[in-house]
Amino acid sequence: MIVNINIGLLGHVDSGKTTLARALSTIASTAAFDKNPQSKERGITLDLGFSAVVVEAPSRLKSLAPNLEQVQFTFVDCPGHASLIRTIIGGAQIIDFMLLVIDSQKGIQTQTAECIVIGELLQRKLIMVVNKIDLLEEATRAAQLQKLNGKLRKTLAQTSFDSDSTIFNVSALEKINIEVDLFYLLNIFLISHFVIQDLLDNIVSQVEIPKRNKDAPLVMYTDHCFSIKGQGTICTGTIVQGSVAVNDLVEIPAIKEQRKVKSIQMFRRPVQTAAMGDRVGICVPQFNPKTMERGILTQPGYLNNVYAACIRINPIRFYKFAIRSKSKLHITIGHDTVMANMILFKSVNNKPTEEFNLNDEYEYVEELEPTINSITEDCIFALLEFQTPILAAENATLIAAKLDLDAQSNCCRLAFWGRMLWCTHANNYALEVLPIFKVFKHKSKQGFIQRLVNEHEIIVENLFSKQGNREIYLGKQVVLSTGETGVIESTFGQKSKVKVTFMNALRPETLNELKGGRFGSVKVLLNYKKYIFNKQLSLVQ
Ligand SMILES: Nc1nc2c(ncn2[C@@H]2O[C@H](COP(=O)(O)OP(=O)(O)OP(=O)(O)O)[C@@H](O)[C@H]2O)c(=O)[nH]1
């Protein structure tokens, strides 16, 4: 048996991810090592690159899975350029283990921090790879590396990663950390292979057999799509859930069509079946590949277009800006990114976290202060209304970001993440009847006592404006600044006066003030709920 483990290479632009992937791999896929012509031209990785190496399964893993013979590491080379963060997020969601590549001369850079956040929120294990150590002055190299490693440990300590995570110093191009003699004798390719061999051993010693949910409905994130004359359309990608076999019927939601699987390949080897975690190329009868450069293949009928979703917010502490209700953010699910309008709210009576019920009333939250260096314990939810529907499975993870921030501004653009707790989707067969969803804001109005009628009754003025419907306030509670609670019984007159009655007689001190004509010293407060959101969530925008 062979098990596939996806290793993501993430890091700031030019830190050496592609060089490292090349050095680690013996098998290249159709999309490896910056094959994209634009990539070659610009010298940066524009798309995800896939390559692999197969190693003997370590005894540690064999003891867990006795018929395990080999482990295939599929390296997912993510782009580093800031403008390609969507591709990075999409790529990160298919990885099991993360190599965070850091340029030894530059240390932690903006996209390094963003990649840490992505790895953290997807709860991946990590090795930090300090690359290009050949560029450090030989005389001071050890000291510099010690200093940088110390800094990286400090950064790790502020994250949810294990602060003992391995930090590995390499040069993907030069001999460093390899026996000197070998370097002089062997050519660059062999040397880089040796350098990497150490790192590879290290990866082998740390990986776990990923938990795969092979029985769930198929979801495959496709990253490339092309046609081969006479054969069909090939979709390459990673199965993130379930499994697929030759002759299975799969759906291409982007074109709302179904196709029978003609053949499956894994790194050019034909296979009959593939399952969660595998990187595959699936050949189906012809469709226009341009309609789905990047997308999803699923079990027919499984995924739906989601129009609105509710999540519990997990704020990202590097994000320096306030997160505001009624603002827009970019939401990424899988490889797709759309804009969404957002309303923030929280439970009225501190309910346990993660629990969300459409039938409950929630309190509006205007904004969430930046949580830099502290993780909020509050349970804040967000209702996200997508500007264009997005395909998503139930409880999908989504990432909210402010992608229109200048990529050069050195700010983390990732704002928060969460799992979908609830969503509206257009099911082809039935339309759900949704309850009216209510989010309110506490408001208060202040009025003045105009007259004391008796110890159970007062007349209040200026509580309301002259216009407007006052009837809705009948029966509502008011509180005096002296503490007594009464009820609005009627409203009357040109000046919008109201009669307030008290079940218990007013306190002697209050009566003294009022009888002495000191009306101004007692304030009347009306606390009420204003509904910010009070509607049935529609399926069609
Ligand atoms: N001296 C030295 N140069 C390196 C090393 N690793 C990579 N480079 C060089 O750094 C430059 C960028 O390397 P890439 O591997 O393309 O970097 P990348 O992180 O994949 O780049 P993006 O995907 O565009 O972010 C290239 O010129 C490499 O030859 C190294 O260990 N030592």
Q: Does residue 385 line the site of ligand 1, with CB under 6 A?
A: no
User: Residue 458: what residue type?
Assistant: I
**Helix, coil or strand: residue 467:** coil
Kindly state if the Cβ of 177 falls inside 6 Å of ligand 1: no
Say yes or no: 431 and 481 in one domain.
Answer: no
Q: Count the neighbouring beta carbons within 10 Å of the beta carbon of residue 336.
A: 21
Please check whether residue 72 is in contact with residue 372, taking contact to mean a CB–CB distance below 8 angstroms: no
Instruction: Report which protein residue has its CA nearest ligand 1's atom 30.
Output: 132
Task: Give the C-alpha separation, 129 to 114, whole Å.
Answer: 16
Which ligand 1 atom is at minimum distance from the Cα of 81?
25
93 lines ligand 1 (CB under 6 A): no
In a domain, 14, yes or no: yes
Ligand 1: centre distance to CA 97 (Å): 21
Alpha helices for 158-259 (secondary structure H)? 180-185, 188-206
Residue 213 lies in a domain: no
* Listed residues 436, 463, 497: the one ending a domain: 436
Burial tier of 37 (Cβ tally within 10 Å: 0-12, 13-18, 19+): exposed
Distance from the CA of 40 to the center of ligand 1, in angstroms? 13
| H or E, element range at 298 | strand 295-298
For residues 331 and 389, what is the distance between their CA atoms, to the nearest angstrom? 11
The one-letter amino acid code at 331 reads: I
Closest C-alpha residue for ligand 1 atom 14: 16
Residue nearest to atom 7 of ligand 1 (CA): 16
367 and 279 in a single domain? The answer is no
**294 and 312 both lie in a single domain:** no
For 11, what's the count of Cα atoms within 13 Å in the CB-facing half-sphere?
29
Task: Tell which atom from ligand 1 comes closest to the C-alpha of 79.
Answer: 23
**Cα 129 to ligand 1 centroid, rounded to whole Å:** 13
Residue 133's nearest CA partner among 84, 96, 85, 173 is 173
Residue 143 Cα to ligand 1 midpoint, Å, equals 23
Which CATH number fits the domain that encloses residue 234? Answer: 2.40.30.10
Neighbouring C-beta atoms of residue 353, cutoff 10 Å: 13
**Residue 43 scores a pLDDT above 50:** no
Instruction: Say whether both 36 and 159 belong to one domain.
Output: yes
Domain boundary among 168, 183, 206: 206
Residue to mutate (ligand 1; options 10, 19, 110, 188; most atoms within 8 A of CB): 19
Mean predicted confidence (pLDDT) in 6-14: 88
Q: How many CB atoms lie within 10 A of CB 141?
A: 16
Regarding the beta carbon of 131 and ligand 1, being less than 6 Å apart is answered: yes
Ligand 1 neighbourhood includes 173 CB (under 6 angstroms): yes
Q: How far is Cα of residue 444 from the mean position of the Cα atoms in its chain?
A: 36
- Whichever domain contains 532, its CATH number is 2.40.10.190
Average pLDDT of span 36-64: 67
Do residues 284 and 344 share a domain? no
Q: What is the pTM of this model?
A: 0.75
Atom number in ligand 1 closest to CA 135:
1
More confident residue, 150 or 121: 150
- In a shared domain, residues 343 and 290: no
| pLDDT confidence bin for 455, thresholds 50/70/90 | very high
Give the separation between CA 237 and CA 244, rounded to whole angstroms. Answer: 12
CA atoms within 13 A on the CB side of 521: 11
Residues 200 and 77 in one domain: yes
Q: Is the CB–ligand 1 distance for residue 134 below 6 Å?
A: yes
The 10 Å Cβ neighbour count of residue 157 is: 11
Q: How confident is the model at residue 174 (pLDDT cuts 50, 70, 90)?
A: confident
Q: Is 4 in the pocket of ligand 1 (CB under 6 A)?
A: no
Q: Which of 23-32, 90-99, 102-111, 521-530 has the lowest mean pLDDT?
A: 23-32
Contact, 361 vs 346, CB < 8 A? no
**Residue 434's pLDDT band (boundaries 50, 70, 90)?**
low
Residues 224, 35: Cα–Cα separation, whole Å: 12
Distance from the alpha carbon of residue 15 to the mean position of ligand 1, in angstroms: 5
Does the pLDDT of residue 71 top 80, yes or no?
yes
Residue 214 inside a domain? The answer is no
Query: Does residue 265 sit in the same domain as residue 166?
Result: no
Both 386 and 531 in one domain: the answer is no
CA 9 / ligand 1 centre spacing (Å): 12
Q: For residue range 391-424, what is the model confidence (pLDDT) as tens digits? A: 887 778 888 988 877 656 677 888 998 888 888 7
Residue 507: pLDDT band by 50, 70, 90 thresholds? very high
For the chain, what is the mean pLDDT?
80
Residues 134-158, mean pLDDT to the nearest whole number: 90
* Domain with 363 in it: 305-436
Query: What is the atom index within ligand 1 of the atom nearest the CA of 21?
Result: 15
Read off the pLDDT of each residue in 240-248 and give the average, rounded to a whole number. Answer: 92
Q: Whose CA is nearest to atom 6 of ligand 1?
A: 16
Ligand 1 centre from 277 Cα, in Å? Answer: 27
Per-residue pLDDT for 201 more than 80? no
Looking at the structure, do residues 398 and 471 belong to the same domain, yes or no? no
Does the CB atom of residue 17 touch ligand 1 within 6 A? yes
Ramachandran region of residue 145, left (φ > 0), alpha (ψ -120 to 50) or beta? Answer: alpha
In a domain, 322, yes or no: yes
465 pLDDT higher than 90: no
**19 Cβ closer than 6 Å to some ligand 1 atom:** yes
Q: Which of 419, 297, 418, 392 is nearest to 338 (CA)?
A: 392
Q: Residues near 273 by Cβ (< 8 Å), separated by ≥ 6? A: 243, 244, 245, 246, 264
Q: pLDDT tens for residues 250-274? A: 998 877 889 999 999 987 789 999 9
Distance CA 221, CA 294 (A): 8
Q: For residues 432 and 419, give the distance between their C-alpha atoms in angstroms, rounded to a whole number.
A: 21
Q: Which atom of ligand 1 is nearest to the CA of 15?
A: 19
C-alpha of 77 from chain center: 20
Least confident of 72-86, 404-418, 497-511: 72-86
Q: Do 451 and 402 belong to one domain?
A: no
Q: Give the separation between CA 241 and CA 334, rounded to whole angstroms.
A: 12
The burial of 26, by beta-carbon neighbours within 10 Å (0-12 exposed, 13-18 middle, 19 or more buried), is given as: exposed
Distance between CA atoms of residues 9 and 197, nearest Å: 16
